[in-house]
Amino acid sequence: MKAVISSTGLWTPENSISNEELVESFNAYVDKWNAENAEAIEAGELDALTYSNAEFIEKASGVKSRYVISKDPILDPEIMAPRIPARPNEEPSILAEIAAKAAQQALDAVGRSAEDVGAVIVACSNLQRGYPAIAVEVQSILGTSGFAFDMNVACSSATFGLETARGLIFGGQAKSVLVVNPEICTAHLNFKDRDAHFIFGDVATALLVESDDMAPTEHWEIIGSKLVTQFSNNIRNNFGFLNTAAPEDDGLHGARGRKGLTDKLFVQNGRSVFKEVVPLVAKMITHECEVNGIDPHDLKRMWLHQANLNMNVLIAKKVLGKDVEIEQAPVVLDEYANTSSAGSIIAFHKHSDDFEAGETGLICSFGAGYSAGAIFVRKVA
């Protein structure tokens, strides 16, 4: 028995924010903050804030725009955060709602009815609450059978979720498993942080992972995989249930100690992440190709995590050689920005229709933890 990928789903929010819109709002905030703190700045007690820049953002990251669930409040210099009203417990929570939309698309793509699905895994970076698990709510919305649970491996949640689904199938717990990645990344992003305010967007993706005896004729065989973690403080979010037990901690490890830049939202040392993660991932891919007897040049495509375009180009060059074409490592971060665990799955969903039977590719995630996952797939039929 084999576990294969039967289909994928993608839910994209209606609204998008361009770099120019985001920078205009950020710079209005800078003017306001500097005016309000003019005396302290003059006295040398505070550093004046500096403008953000749309050209810098595109050059440094490759991001041109991002889809968001809540646009106007993010762009309002008085708010600079999404506003998603709390819902009564009787209504579906927002994370479960968008997860169910992506999952339903994956089911519809192969005509699978929900009751034939035996497990749902919600695998993402930011879970809306402690419990009940969002996945159990998704199970209830869709009407799937069996069981459901949440897991979080940050940007690598989708690949780790996919491997977990395979394990459940091999272990006989389920024959059909939905792995869903709802990512509302804008709610963990500090839009007042010049170094990071452009990084993230919102989205939800889904993978239907099934035993090959029930999968549709056309599917993706998994021919090799590897999961890796290595502890690092370079990408961190200290939000958690113990925050209330330490009210004196007003962002001890926050971004450069500046008031308003709390470590209870996303913080990173982007330059260090870039330098450390590129070799880690390139080595992992090259080594796993060797272990699985795959010539890297036979990989038609690498659907890489979507954090930084320059990072992906470097990884692709290290693995495939200097003459790498952009189609071999397709880019979605220009339009979607970083969507954490969903990034490589959006790339796979949007850039895999041209595969012929027998052709191979690689889904590869990397990010906070550090964590990295490599899943080699081969198209069947």
Interacting residues with ligand COA (CB under 6 A): 52-53, 56-57, 60-61, 155, 194-195, 235, 268, 270-271, 273-274, 307-308, 311, 338, 367-368
| 141 vs 273, beta carbon nearer ligand COA | 273
Distances (CA, A) of 101 to 16, 94, 95, 171: 19, 11, 10, 28
| 57 vs 329, beta carbon nearer ligand COA | 57
Which residues, at least 6 apart from 126, have a Cβ–Cβ distance to it below 8 Å? 152, 183, 184, 185, 187, 188, 237, 340
**Which two three-digit tokens encode residue 121?**
């895994």
Q: Specify whether the CB–CB gap between 109 and 8 falls below 8 A.
A: yes
Burial letters 291-320, b for 16+ CB under 10 A, else e: eeebebeebbbbbbbbbbbebbbbbbebbb
Exactly one of 124, 155, 289, 364 is catalytic; name it: 155
CB of 234 to ligand COA, least distance (A): 8
| 138 vs 273, beta carbon nearer ligand COA | 273
CB of 306 to ligand COA, least distance (A): 9
- What pairs with residue 267 in β-bridges? 236
CB of 57 to ligand COA, least distance (A): 6
The residue nearest ligand COA at its CB is 270
In whole angstroms, give the CA distance from residue 176 to residue 28.
50
CB of 268 to ligand COA, least distance (A): 5
Active-site annotation holds for 289: no
| 155 vs 162, beta carbon nearer ligand COA | 155
In whole angstroms, give the CA distance from residue 341 to residue 203.
10
In whole angstroms, give the CA distance from residue 373 to residue 163.
9
In whole angstroms, give the CA distance from residue 202 to residue 336.
8
CB of 141 to ligand COA, least distance (A): 28
| 60 vs 110, beta carbon nearer ligand COA | 60
Catalytic residues: 155
